[in-house]
A = this chain, B = another copy of it.
Amino acid sequence: VRVAPDQVERVGVVGAGVIGGAWAAHFLRMGLDVSLYEPSSVAREGALELLDAAWPTLERLGLREGASRERLRFPETLEETVADAQVVQEATPERLESKQEVFRLLDAAAPADVLLLSSTSGLRMTDIQARCAHPERTVVGHPFNPPYLLPLVEIVGGERTDPAAVDWAVAFYAAYGKEPVKLDVEIPSFIASRLQEALAREMLHMVAEGEATVEQIDAAVVNGPGLRWAILGPGLSFHLAGGQGGMAHCLDWWGPLLDEPWSRLAAPELTPELRQRLIDGCEREAAGRSVDELAAERDACLVALLEARDRCRDAR
Which of A's residues lie within 8 Å of B, judged by CB? 18, 53-54, 57, 60-61, 122, 144-146, 149-152, 154, 179, 181-185, 187-208, 210-236, 238, 240-241, 243, 258, 260-271, 274, 277-278, 280-282, 284-285, 292, 295-309, 311-313, 315-316
The distance from the CB of A247 to the nearest CB of chain B, in whole angstroms, is 8
Q: Are A229 and B234 in contact (CB under 8 A)?
A: no
Query: Which residues of B sit under 8 angstroms from A204, Cβ to Cβ?
Result: 258, 267-268, 270, 274, 278
What is the count of identical protomers in the complex? 2
Main secondary structure of the interface of A (DSSP, over half): helix
Q: Are B199 and A195 in contact (CB under 8 A)?
A: yes
Q: Are B316 and A312 in contact (CB under 8 A)?
A: no
Q: Are B309 and A301 in contact (CB under 8 A)?
A: yes
Q: Are A222 and B231 in contact (CB under 8 A)?
A: yes
Q: Are A221 and B203 in contact (CB under 8 A)?
A: no
Contact of A198 among B263, B269, B271 (CB under 8 A): B263
The distance from the CB of A273 to the nearest CB of chain B, in whole angstroms, is 8
A103→B195 CA distance, assembly (Å) = 38
Q: Are A227 and B227 in contact (CB under 8 A)?
A: no
A14→B219 CA distance, assembly (Å) = 27
A196→B152 CA distance, assembly (Å) = 20
**With A192-B224, A219-B233, A309-B301 known to touch, is A213 a contact of B181 (CB < 8 Å)?**
no
Q: Are B296 and A53 in contact (CB under 8 A)?
A: yes
